[in-house]
Amino acid sequence: MTVSVALVYPDLLGTYGDGGNATVLVQRLAWRGIEARLVPVLSSGQLPSSCDFYVIGGGEDQPQSMAADLMASGRRLERAVGNGAVVLAVCAGLQLLGQSFEANDGRPRPGLGLLDCVTSRSERARAVGELLVQPGPEWGEGLDLVTGFENHQGRTELGKRSRPVGQVLRGVGNGDGGLEGAVSGRVWGTYMHGPVLARNPKLADLLLSWVVGPLAPVDDARPTALHDERTGSALAEAVSKGGARGWAEWAERGRRAWGAVRERW
Amino acid sequence: MLALDPQALSHLATGRTVALVSGTNGKTTTTKLLASALPTTDGAPVASNFQGANLPSGLVTALAERAGRGPAVLEVDEAWLGEVAAQVLPAALVLLNLSRDQLDRHHEVRHLAQRWRSLCQGLAPVTFVVANADDPLVAWAAAAAAGQVTWVAAGARWRLDAAGCPECGGRLSFGLAAPLSAGAGGGLAEPGGAYDDGHWQCDGCGLSRPAPDLWLEQDGANLSACWRSGPRVALKVSLPGRCNRFNALMALATAVRLGATAPEAAHALAGVDEVAGRYSTVSAGAGSAKLLLAKNPAGWVEALDMLSPAPAPVVVAINAHGVDGRDTSWIWDVPFENLRGRSVFASGERALDMSVRLHYADVAHQVEPDTWKAVAAMNSRAVDVVANYSAFQQLRSRRLLPAPGAPK
């Protein structure tokens, strides 16, 4: 089988380097001898509905609205998801897959509804900086802390049909209840740039396993070194901001928060 | 000085012929080129912030150091251009290009273009504009100027930030247009047709590239600058890379409008071979290192184009301080795959980010955060070093110290 990875509208949603997620997915398959094909889809072209993976990145306000318009016509992404495709949507991508998001004119506009979340413009200062998240237990033992870089003005509230990626240890994330991201089925929405899959090889393999099943190990010395460096530096910041509170307290806080999150869903 | 006298910039600029140079990439180089090509009447030296201090405080320092009525060529941060222009009443505004720079500063590039457009709309009639016609955001901003704009076909290879029309949000298409002059291909033709012509247009509202007044033509190794009005002059550019030919063309256009003759200006441009340490070769251990600065994806694409031919060894160094942008994600937009087959070191404070990028590009490499150590470890006669802003400044400041391993 050839696994196809669509990079959705890099000409509109390519501002934050998130196209690197597609590079990571294709390479991690290729290293395992699985044939993989990168399918860049420009905004002038038609979005295919037959790909296995869709990678959607962040962008500026106006291109985000253009992308939402294009994706709404034809409902091709919805069809792909209905057929089992995996979607990774970052920042503007997360927002436009939700129920609605606030456009640059300040009015809410409908999203694709693939994620159960509503995004408005946050009253707080723009969220810019390292984002570190304790992922929820449902993603399995294998998924470490998740690290990324956030840069957004959004406040994203989750509805009942989406769950968060996890609990924020450092940074802002959704800006609602200390949570980060929105996940429904095989649609993974996050505020993390970095690109997120370059910094988190285990997350890349989790998403890949949803398409191709269990994966053979690859040499992850370098991606793991980056993951640990970013995670360590964000943790150090979180702990230093917390004053005398040490790492143990952070871990306890993460566990408590997860208890609450599980009750909610 | 600004704190003492808020009008300092205005006072120091009074009576001078001032040219302001701005854009995402090429500001420092174009400023140096233009300052060298500018005609000076009574021998008054040209005031300029060659070292790249491009906020108002740096401009005040540059003018104060060369007090008097001599001409001034100043590079100005893109976001400060309006404020500075309001204070110095420039003779010339030189608008190079706009693409995304530090991601986390959220100066959305369209927002900058809008501010430039407002500036151009309000320009005094004494100010003329020299603008890159090939860059849609720049052309849209400059077209608002009431006075005559000199449109230069100055290239815009980086197009990922210009997908939407700045006027209507419609889709822009790029590609070939009618030749600029009969018998010539127009634009800068490269062997193998690697580069497009700079034409662009909006499929929605019809906004399109203004007809260039000045462009480059290449015949073998010979480069000429050609004016639509007829004249042409041979242009020799000592600085490496395609982008510097265009920077030289922008400087030439401006110098000529400020009264230089084209042959004199072209001659002066050819003499510039180093800009604030960039493109310079420094001794390092047993060999030497050529230093290249690249601050953003568009700049890195150009810098990779300036490397010595493969398999010459390369050190790529990045930091992520505020001036660099704290988000390193942009490295995934740069085709580092082109480094395959070379000896490569990933370096700088964020060497691991670069290492992972190279890993996924199948570029075999080693990691050494200390850039001079990486250069020394290459054990090679000539190493190319590409670094982003603060990594480059660190390199330059350490270059004044003894080379690593050198006898004291």
Q: How far is B304 from chain A (nearest CA, A)?
A: 18
CB contact under 8 A, A229 and B329: no
Q: Tell me how close the Cα of A204 comes to any Cα of chain B, in angstroms.
A: 13
For tokens 């497009």, name the residue: B196
Residues B225-277: pLDDT tens digits?
Answer: 999 999 999 999 999 888 999 999 999 999 999 999 999 999 999 999 888 87
> Using a CB cutoff of 8 Å and minimum separation of 24, what contacts does B56-61 make?
B56/B2, B56/B9, B56/B80, B56/B83, B56/B84, B56/B87, B57/B1, B57/B2, B59/B9, B59/B84, B59/B88, B60/B1, B60/B2, B60/B8, B60/B9, B60/B12, B61/B1
Helix and strand totals (H; E) in chain A: 8, 14
| pLDDT tens for each residue of B316-363 | 999 999 888 899 999 999 999 999 999 999 999 999 999 999 999 999
Residue A264: per-residue pLDDT: 46
Q: How far is CA B259 from the centre of its chain?
A: 23
Tell me, yes or no, if B106 comes closer than 8 A to chain A by beta carbon. Answer: yes
Residues 6+ apart with CB under 8 A from B184: B217, B226
Q: Is A227 a catalytic residue?
A: no
Task: Please give the single-letter amino acid code of residue A215.
Answer: L
Whole-model pTM over 0.90: no
Exposure string of B194-231, with b = 16+ CB inside 10 Å and e = fewer, is: eebbbbbbbeeeebbbbebbbbbbbeeeebebbbeeee
Q: What digits encode the pLDDT tens for the residues B81-117?
A: 999 999 999 999 999 999 877 666 645 788 899 999 9
Instruction: Please state the three-class secondary structure of B77-130 as a single string.
Output: CHHHHHHHHHHHCCCEEEECCCCCCCHHHCCCHHHHHHHHHHHHHCCCCCCEEE
Quick check: A60 contacting B, CB < 8 Å?
A: yes
Euclidean distance between CA atoms A181 and A164, whole angstroms = 5
Q: Do B333 and A27 lie within an 8 Å CB cutoff?
A: no
Q: What is the pLDDT of residues A2-25, one digit of tens each?
A: 999 999 999 889 888 999 999 999
> Which residues, 6 or more positions from A218, have their beta carbon under 8 angstroms from its beta carbon?
A28, A31, A32
Residue A61 touches chain B, beta carbons under 8 Å: yes
Kindly give the residue spans of alpha helices, DSSP state H, lying in A53-179: 61-72, 76-82, 92-97
Closest CB from B110, B171, B356 relative to A62: B110
Three-state secondary-structure class, residue A119:
strand
Is residue A91 part of the annotated active site? The answer reads: yes
Structure tokens at B116: 């430039």
